[in-house]
Amino acid sequence: MEIVAVPAFTDNYIWLVHDRESGETAVVDPGDAAPVLAEASRRGWTIGQVWNTHWHPDHTGGNVAIKQANGARVSGPAAENIPASDVALKEGDEVRLGRHVGRVMEVPGHTSGHIALVFDEDGVAFVGDTLFAMGCGRLFEGSPEQMYRSLQRLAALPGDTRLYCAHEYTLANARFAAHAEPENRAIADRLAEVAALRDAGQITLPTTVAQERETNPFVRSTNVEEFARRRAAKDSFGS
């Protein structure tokens, strides 16, 4: 499984996923069709599937154009209104790319029907806007209880699982993490690493479950109440 980041808008990443054996290609959360179609064409790939984690336009805005261009099959959460949707996904369903099989995990909080796609054998999960490197999504539709449970589910995956989220928020998240846990040496070290990467214009993703267990203050919250306090504090924290 080859995974390529395609930058979009100011801080989104659209993920192109390619299976060399079958030649099949999927795209995760294409908010903008143009850059991802261009990158796929440059590589000689044809996008046959669109996988959406939630309905927000910066994740689904390219669905129609990609479907028109390639006849791609669009899959997304059953509980949400996904543009051009062909397949409604719910907990325990599967998506396939060649021999690679991903299971659907419902992770509400950011939106009410948000899903993640977990490829257990590949050690990969596409988590949309539920979990970010050192952070988590805002609670636009869900409750603190829902988001806390969703994060704990993702954090229970094997530590070496690579997490592909949809935004380059890591530096701002790292600064808040250092504020939330000033005694956490792992957070301080990661903040320095992330700052150096961003100064060099480099991507900070994917992250891993093990990294998030050590340095993500939302994953590390010991209960829902602590999570809710930290999420409220982050909402008003300067970057």
Q: Mutual orientation of helices 170-180 and 224-235 as an angle, nearest 10°?
A: 120
Q: What is the pLDDT of residue 239?
A: 55
Question: Could you tell me how many helices (H) and strands (E) the chain has, helices first?
Answer: 8, 14
Q: Examine the residue annotation and report whether 129 is marked as an active-site residue of this protein.
A: yes
Q: How much is the pTM?
A: 0.97
Q: How far apart are CA 24 and CA 237, in angstroms?
A: 42
Q: How far apart are CA 173 and CA 234, in angstroms?
A: 8
Two tokens, residue 162: 């690579």
Q: How far apart are CA 105 and CA 180, in angstroms?
A: 28
Q: Examine the residue annotation and report whether 100 is marked as an active-site residue of this protein.
A: no
Say which of 58, 93, 100, 114 is annotated catalytic: 58
Q: Are 58 and 35 in contact (CB under 8 A)?
A: no
Q: Examine the residue annotation and report whether 59 is marked as an active-site residue of this protein.
A: yes
Partner residues linked to 213 by β-bridges: none
Q: How many CB atoms lie within 10 A of CB 42?
A: 8
Q: Are 28 and 164 in contact (CB under 8 A)?
A: yes
Q: Examine the residue annotation and report whether 110 is marked as an active-site residue of this protein.
A: yes
Amino acid identity, position 112: S
Q: Could you read off the pLDDT tens digit of each residue along the chain, which spans 239 residues?
A: 999 999 999 999 999 999 999 999 999 999 999 999 999 999 999 999 999 999 999 999 999 999 999 999 999 999 999 999 999 999 999 999 999 999 999 999 999 999 999 999 999 999 999 999 999 999 999 999 999 999 999 999 999 999 999 999 999 999 999 999 999 999 999 999 999 999 999 999 999 999 999 999 999 999 999 999 999 999 999 75
**Listed residue (58, 84, 17) closest to 167, CA to CA:** 58
Q: What is the pLDDT of residue 92?
A: 95
Structural domains counted in the chain: 1
Say which of 18, 29, 100, 110 is annotated catalytic: 110
Say which of 54, 93, 100, 114 is annotated catalytic: 54
Q: What is the pLDDT of residue 12?
A: 98
Say which of 18, 29, 32, 56 is annotated catalytic: 56
Say which of 59, 93, 100, 114 is annotated catalytic: 59
Q: What is the pLDDT of residue 40?
A: 98
Q: How far apart are CA 169 and CA 190, in angstroms?
A: 14
Q: Mutual orientation of helices 170-180 and 185-199 as an angle, nearest 10°?
A: 160
Partner residues linked to 15 by β-bridges: 5, 28
Q: What is the pLDDT of residue 108?
A: 98
Can you give the residue range of the structural domain that contains 138? 2-235
Two tokens, residue 38: 């261009």
Domain containing residue 226: CATH number: 3.60.15.10
